Structures are given as structure tokens and as C-alpha cells.
Amino acid sequence: MQTISVKCKLQVPIELRSEIDRTLQGFADACNQIYEVAKREKCWNTTKLHHLVYKPIRETTKLKANHVCQAIRRVIGNAKACRQPHKFRPTSINLDARTFEYFEELQSVGVTLMCGRKQFKLSIGNYQLALLKGQTPTAATLNKTKRGDYYINICVDLPTDPTGKTPKVIGVDLGRRDIATTSNGKSWSGEKIQATRDRYSKVRANVQSKRTRSSRRLLRRLSGREQRFQKWLNHNISKQLVQEAKQTNSGLAFEDLTNIRESLNQKPRSKTERRRTNNWAFYQLRVFVQYKANISGIPVVFAPPAYTSQTCSRCHHIHPEKDKGKSYRYGKLFKCGHCGFECDADVNAALNIAALGISVNNPEVPGITCLLEGQRELFPTGSENWDKAPTSTKRKRSKLG
């Protein structure tokens, strides 16, 4: 099963808006108080923290019992997700089976507020109706936007196809110049999103320097536009990747780019390059691909990124960066100095990722393997020690050619 969130707009009467706002404010106050206690007592266990704060929080905020339990879970979840959580704002509240109910026949939801259970009608389209049909959701999140509208994100479970082993894998190389490039030669240019980011960065810099009331209004109006465009773009790319993998009965292989920003920011970079690197939404694309692939039953594997761009996809010769006189890449062109192979640099990296993905997803099928540097020095090919090398070492060397 794959859990997704269905965003639905609520039709809230005017007389109930203040009640929702009061509940959101109480939930935010509870989260801030719980976080202070957890930080002071150094307690990040849900059960232990519950015994410390449950009764005091209920007395000070007048929240319902389940609201306090959800506030404790949110504080613990945020502490695990980020190193230093910011102050909680009255913009959302978590709901569970005891504080939320969905009525399919009436197309409405029941939400427990501080004043009691209230029912709200949903304003949704056919897409949301299809996802909610026959569902009995037990979790949701009530949100309030900056415009003052109210939405509820309902968690539903969708059945997924079984994921099996496949001898075919499509490698995907992620980057900033080209957002994604597949081993089949398909790519998505990043010029448009880069130009959009640069434009919004200049507008924000000019507006923030004025510090007037009209400039603050403009910043609020611009807020979120860049993120929404990036989200729309990543949704489109992930959808096409999953469709291509499903049509060819293939898996998808990506580089594991965890902590890539930290390693890049350690190098000497300009302020503009640092901003562009920090705005690179590669993880969002990865999340979108993962949940879409789970629904379609497509396996997704992750390969180590080391040397994928420096290795020739034909002869698997590695060109170390320290050999400055033997450059293997010029712009978008990759040229192997060992066998003379030439192709697009991103396609070459995607082919290496695909070969690594085959080895991970289906070990029985020959893919690509690498010897340890110590084995290369101890058992060089053609030396006297080669006959003494273990069989596993010879088998790995034969795969490399």
C-alpha cells in the first residue's frame, strides 16, 4: 500500500472561522510549550514526554486530549527532521481517527475543534472524488493558507502492484544544467527553472531593500510562486520517468545524493553559485518518483555517486580528477582517454548508474563492479601475483574487461 495526501478545500461558514483559528492557535501554543519542555529536560521519547507535559498542556491550552497527543508527536517529528525547529505557527493541526471523519455520501468531513465536533462540506473535483471513493481515512491535516482559505489534506492508502526483479534498469543522472538525464538519452533542461529562480532572487533583493508597506505586500504575493513552479516541474518529470519505466518494464536507478549540498558548499564558490546549489530540489524529485513508482510497481534503487561521471560507460576506465593534463570532459562532451569513446557527459553518467542499478536490483545479471584499490595494487593484471589472486577477484576483473 502507498499512502498519499488528497488536498480538499473546506467550505467554512463565517461564524466557524474564529473557532478554527482558536483551535489552530491553541495547537501552535501547545507545540511551542512542549518543545521548550523537551529541550529543557532533553527528553525526545514520545511516551516519556507525554507523561511530562500532558496534564499541564491541557490545563493551559484547553485543547482536547487527542489534540495534545498529536502536538507531542509533531514536536518529536520536527525535532527528528530538522536540527533546530523554528517556532510553531497557527497554520495547521494534525487530526486522527478520533478527531476526524470523512462522509463519502455527503462529501463532507467532521473535525473536532475546541468547541466540539463540527461538520464541513468539501469543495473538490473529480480527481479528489476518484481517490476518496471507497476509502475510510483515519488521518488528515487541517491547514490555513495566507489568503485565509482552509484546506484539509486527507491521507488515503492506494493498492500497489508487486515489485519484482527486472533485468532492465533506466539510469537517471540528476544535475542543475539538465535536471534529469536518462540512460536512454532523454533529458529535461534546467534553463527555465534556473532563469525563474534568478529572476525571483533579483525581485526579492530589490523589494526587500525598500522596506515599505507596498513592498511587504508584494513579497507576500510573490511568496510560494517559485516553489509551486518547481513542484509542478518535478511532478511532470517524475510522471514521465515512471511512465517510461512502466512501458519498457524497467526499474529506475538514481544516485544517492544525500549531503551533496554540504560537500559542495565546502568548496570555494560564489554567492550566486551557493544560492543555486541550495535551491536545487533534487530530493523533491526523488520523493515524487518513489511514491509514483510504488503505485505502479516499479523498483527504484540508489547507487553510490562516486566516479559515475568520471568512468567510461564502455570500458569502465576511471579518469581521476587529479590528472589535469588528461581531461575526460569538455562542457557536455565526455571523451574516454583509454578507448576513445565519445558521448554526452550526462548520458555517460546515466549509463554507469544504470549498470550499477542492475547489479543492485538483480545481482544474478552481470552489471558493473569495481575492485578495491588495494586489490588492484596487490594483484595487477599480468603480474606474477595474478595467478595467486582469489577466484572472486579474477571474476570481478573479468567483468571490467
Asked whether the CA dihedral 202, 264, 342, 166 is positive or negative, the reply is negative
Report yes or no on 390 lying in a domain.
yes
Determine the structural domain holding residue 378 and report its residue range. Answer: 371-400
As given in the structure block, the three cell numbers for residue 160 are: 500497489
| Shared-domain flag, residues 308 and 379 | no
Report which secondary-structure segment, H or E, holds 59.
Answer: helix 46-61
Pair 127, 231 in one domain? no
Residue 216 lies in a domain: no
CB-side neighbour CA atoms (13 Å) of 91: 6
235 and 125 together in one domain: no
- The verdict on 146 and 251 lying in the same domain is no
What is the model's pLDDT at position 321?
Answer: 61
Question: Is 262 contained in some domain?
Answer: yes
Would you call 395 helix, strand, or coil by DSSP?
A: helix
The Cα–Cα gap between 295 and 157 comes to: 10
Rounded to whole angstroms, how far apart are CA atoms 287 and 235? 10
Q: Which grid cell is 13? A: 461558514
- DSSP string for residues in 147-176: TS-EEEEEEEEE--PPP---S-EEEEEE-S
Chain centroid to Cα 155, Å, comes to 18
pTM over 0.95: no
Report the alpha-carbon distance of residue 206 to residue 199 in Å, rounded: 11
Task: Kindly give the pairing relationship between strand 108-113 and strand 100-103.
Answer: antiparallel
Does residue 213 lie within any of the structural domains? no
- Whole-angstrom distance between the N-terminal and C-terminal Cα of the chain? 42
Query: Domain check: are 184 and 299 in the same one?
Result: yes
pLDDT score for 181: 87
C-alpha cell of 62?
Answer: 484547553
Q: Looking at the structure, tell me whether residues 173 and 154 fall in a common domain.
A: no
pLDDT along the chain (401 residues), means of 10: 87 92 93 91 90 92 92 90 80 92 91 91 90 88 90 88 74 85 86 82 77 75 79 91 89 82 70 71 86 87 82 79 60 79 84 81 55 37 44 44 41
Q: Is residue 147 part of a domain?
A: yes
Whole-angstrom distance, CA of residue 371 vs CA of residue 398: 11
Amino acid at 389: A
Whole-Å CA distances, 73 to 14, 31, 80, 132, 143? 31, 9, 11, 26, 17
Instruction: Please indicate, yes or no, if residue 199 is contained in any of the structural domains.
Output: no
Using DSSP, state whether 54 is helix, strand or coil.
Answer: helix
Total domains, the chain: 3
Asked if residues 27 and 90 have their Cβ atoms less than 8 Å apart, the reply is yes
Q: Do 390 and 354 reside in the same domain of the chain? A: no
Do residues 124 and 185 share a domain?
no
User: What are 182's three cell numbers?
Assistant: 536518462
Is the domain of 381 the same as that of 355? no
Nearest to 352 by CA among 367, 334, 332: 367
The verdict on 310 and 345 lying in the same domain is yes
**How far is the C-alpha of 379 from the C-alpha of 231, rounded, in Å?**
50
Grid cell listed for 236:
511532470
Distance CA 260, CA 263 (A): 5
Would residue 200 count as lying in a domain?
Answer: no
Q: Is residue 8 located within the same domain as residue 65?
A: yes
Q: Identify the pLDDT of residue 261.
A: 67
Dig out the grid coordinates for 252 from the structure: 529506475
Burial zone of 282 (CB within 10 Å; 0-12 exposed, 13-18 middle, 19+ buried) = middle
Residue 389 shares a structural domain with residue 308:
no
Cα torsion 352, 353, 355, 360: sign: positive
Positive or negative torsion for Cα 266, 269, 272, 277: negative
Rg (CA), the chain: 27
Report if residue 219 sits inside a domain. Answer: no
